[in-house]
Amino acid sequence: MKNILVTGGCGFIGVNFIRYLLADPDFKGRIINADNLTYAGNPESLENIAERYPQRYYFEKADICDQKQIGAIFEKYHIDAIAHFAAESHVDRSIVGPDAFIRTNINGTFNLLEQTRRYQEQIVLFHHVSTDEVYGSLGDDGFFTETTPYDPSSPYSASKAASDHLVNAYHRTYGIPITISNCSNNYGPFQFPEKLIPLMILNALEGKPLPVYGDGKNVRDWLYVTDHCRALWTIMQKGQRGETYNVGGRCEMRNIDLVEMICDLLDRMAPDSLHKPHRNLITFVKDRPGHDQRYAIDFSKLEHDLGWSPEESYETGIEKTIHWYLENTKWVNRIKSGAYLSWIETHYADNAS
């Protein structure tokens, strides 16, 4: 893999992946980041990367749905591998407006696969970054495995399920060398503050309500983003072509417990905050429609076959994440202007119960 096309590399996980890979002394190739910079794409998250890694990192503002733009990138950089992150990724937004999800997640993936097929002779891998949400919801027991039937609940997860099927179909039908990863909830630096953890940190610091959906007893399996990046690179290097790998944190938490933990850490880590104790800001709001109850991942295939397991514990990972948001005020302030504010304010005004 000498010329890797990373789609959506200005988003949360893409940024972390590009930083992770360029910092790996064993990786000598080039990364070409194609991103059309939606509200969730922030090139500032990769500030100075091109200078720090001359002739190793390139940015192209491109829409994965655009045949001409993507075809030109394959040609120009002689792309031989694809790490496909680009997506509309927020479940709440998919409920309010599914169109962009169908366009980017399904049609965009289809277009990328078609371009890959066009340049098939030079392609060694198409890796699709997907989600555990394709499996639907668990009850109190059990885990998602790679053979759990697909049962998506939201327009977001249905669009990701459709894209998984397309990627598998291009392997079976055209012999495209693919791998797929289905991962649980990520957290860490550079995450857009519409997702639970950064939203709670930043709202708490501003003394705003901390909106917990329903009774707060929904469970997610949290994974520190660098662990996910290491899993992705492990799968890309060693994964069997045509196979799917589940990725998880072995870290199930109820939302309410996680939010209370963040509040308590903030009481200690931001001692001058005017809003202590931050737990007083917790507000239960109307539930998300179709809200999946519990996610838990069985990643034994990845662990046993490829030797990956998570390294960060949630205690250290959440503390590191809070520290990052406290330190990176320039990034936070830039993100919180514009599109972000209008969405959050409208959405939570509608949701208040």
Residues that bind ligand NAD (CB under 6 A): 7-8, 10-14, 35-38, 40-41, 63-65, 85-89, 104, 108, 129, 131, 160, 183, 185-186, 192
Nearest-approach distance from CB 184 to ligand DAU, in angstroms: 5
Q: Is the peptide bond before 277 cis (omega within 30 degrees of 0)?
A: yes
Find the binding residues for ligand DAU in span 86-105 (CB under 6 A): 89-91
Per CB under 6 A, does 218 bind ligand DAU?
A: yes
CB of residue 131 to ligand NAD, shortest distance in Å: 4
- Residue 74: name the closest of 22, 4, 15 by CA: 4
Q: Is 170 a catalytic residue?
A: no
Q: Is 156 a catalytic residue?
A: yes
Phi, psi of 59 (to 5 degrees): -115, 135
Q: Which stretch binds ligand DAU (CB under 6 A): 95-103, 131-139, 144-152, 300-308?
A: 131-139
> With binding defined as CB under 6 A, does residue 131 bind ligand DAU?
yes
Task: Mark whether 224 is an active-site residue.
Answer: no
Minimal CB distance residue for ligand NAD: 11
- Two tokens, residue 280: 């007083």
With contact defined as beta carbons under 8 Å apart, do 150 and 96 qualify? no
Q: Under the criterion CB under 6 A, does residue 7 sit at the interface with ligand DAU?
A: no
Residue 13 touches which member of ligand NAD, ligand DAU, none, C-beta under 5-8 Å by kind: ligand NAD
Interacting positions 232-271 with ligand DAU (CB under 6 A): 255
Beta strand 219-221 pairing with 252-254: antiparallel
- Residues marked as catalytic: 132-133, 156
